[in-house]
Amino acid sequence: MTSTYLKRAAIFSFTALMGLGPLVLFADHVGASSSHAGYQTTRKNSGTPNSTYVKVDPKTGVVIAYGDSAITYNAPSSKLDTLGRALFLENCASCHGTEANGVPANGTSGSFPDLVGLGPATIDFWVDSGRMPAADVRAVQAIRHQPRLNQSQALAIAAWVNSLDPSYPSIPTPHLKDANVSDGAALFALNCAACHTIEGDGDALASDTFAPSLRDIPAFEVVEAIRTGPANMPRFTGNLSDDQVRDIVAYVTTEIQHPNNPGGFGLGGLGPVAEGFVGLLVGVGLLILIAYWVGERQ
C-alpha cells in the first residue's frame, strides 16, 4: 500500500521537476527590468558635405544646398528662424530646453537629447513623421502618429535649430525618375530587410523597440531616415551613395508601397504563420465540415 503511494509521489515529483525545474534556471533573469534612458539620438554631423554640387550663401558663407542628380539637399530658409523658435518653445522646449541642448531647466541632467548640430533632416524627420512631440516621453521608442505640426512648421523648427549650429544632412529631395528599382530591391534586401522585413512591414526588435512599417511614408522621409538613422536605426552615410539611396527609395515607394502582387489576398503579409492558420482553419476546417456533411448517411 505505502509502496504505491511512494511510487505515485515519486512519479509526481519527477514530473513536476521535469516540467517546472527548468524555470529555476531562468530565476535570475526574472524581474530584470530595462532602464529607460530616453530616446537614442543621432550623432552630430558637422563639416562640409561631400557632394559634387555645393551652393553657399554668399552673404553668410553657410551651405544652403548640395547634392547631385540623384538627391538634392536644401537647408531650410533662414527666414523661418523666428517662427521656428516660437514653435520650438511652444512644443519642444519642455523637454529639450529653450536652447535645444537637452537641458529643460537649471540643475536637470541631460536625459533628453541635445539637438544642436544634428542637421535639419533629423529635426524634420522626427517632427514631420509625427513622432515628436512625443506621445509618451517614457516610452523607449517613439511611435509614429498623426503629426501635430504640419510640414512647414516642421521645417521652421528645423531651420531654427539648424541656425544654432549649421550642420548636415539638410532636407533631401530624391529625384526618382532615373532610379533603378532592381538595384534598389537588391540593396533593400541587403541593408533594410534584416529589421524592416523583406516586405517592408516592420517587426518587433528587442525589448520595447521595433522597426516601423514602410508602407505609408513619403519618399523624402525614407531618405531622411537612411541618412540620419533615427532611434535604433543605423545611419547609412559612407556605405550608401546618393544613387543607391535613391534606388532604395524608389523600390520602397513603388514595389513596397504599391506592390505588383498577383496570387490573391495577401493575408496581411504576415507570412507562413497566417498561411498556416488559413490552411488549417479554412482548408482543413472546411474539408472537415464537408466530411461531416457527406460522411454520414442520414
Show the cell assigned to 274. Answer: 497566417
Total number of residues that touch other proteins (CB under 8 A): 72
Window 223 to 282, contacts with other proteins (CB under 8 A): 251, 254-255, 259-267, 270-273, 275-280, 282
Query: 112 or 251, CB closer to other proteins?
Result: 251
Helices 151-164 and 81-91 meet at what angle, rounded to 10?
100
- Give the shortest CB-237-to-other proteins separation in angstroms: 20
- What one-character DSSP code corresponds to residue 204? E
- Give the shortest CB-16-to-other proteins separation in angstroms: 8
Distance CA 212, CA 127 (A): 16
| 40 contacts: CB under 8 Å, gap ≥ 6 | 231, 232
- Give the shortest CB-10-to-other proteins separation in angstroms: 16
Query: 96 or 196, CB closer to other proteins?
Result: 196
Query: 52 or 260, CB closer to other proteins?
Result: 260
Query: 47 or 264, CB closer to other proteins?
Result: 264
Binding segment (CB under 8 A) for other proteins, from list 80-88, 110-118, 198-206, 221-229:
198-206
- Residues 10, 62, 135, 290: which binds other proteins (CB under 8 A)? 290
Query: 90 or 275, CB closer to other proteins?
Result: 275
Distance CA 215, CA 159 (A): 28
Q: How far, CA to CA in Å, does 27 sit from each of 33, 35, 179?
A: 13, 19, 53
- Give the shortest CB-158-to-other proteins separation in angstroms: 29
Binding segment (CB under 8 A) for other proteins, from list 62-70, 116-124, 125-133, 180-188:
180-188
Window 7 to 66, contacts with other proteins (CB under 8 A): 15, 19-20, 22-23, 25-26, 29
283 binds other proteins (CB under 8 A): yes
**CB 195 within 8 Å of CB 262:** no
Distance CA 170, CA 36 (A): 30
Three state DSSP letters for 177-199:
HHCCHHHHHHHHHHHCHHHHCCC
Window 207 to 226, contacts with other proteins (CB under 8 A): 207-208, 210-211
Q: Tell the residue number behind the cell numbers 523600390, with chain if given.
A: 251
Binding segment (CB under 8 A) for other proteins, from list 153-161, 204-212, 225-233, 235-243:
204-212
Q: Where are the alpha helices (DSSP H) in 107-218?
A: 120-128, 151-164, 181-191, 193-196
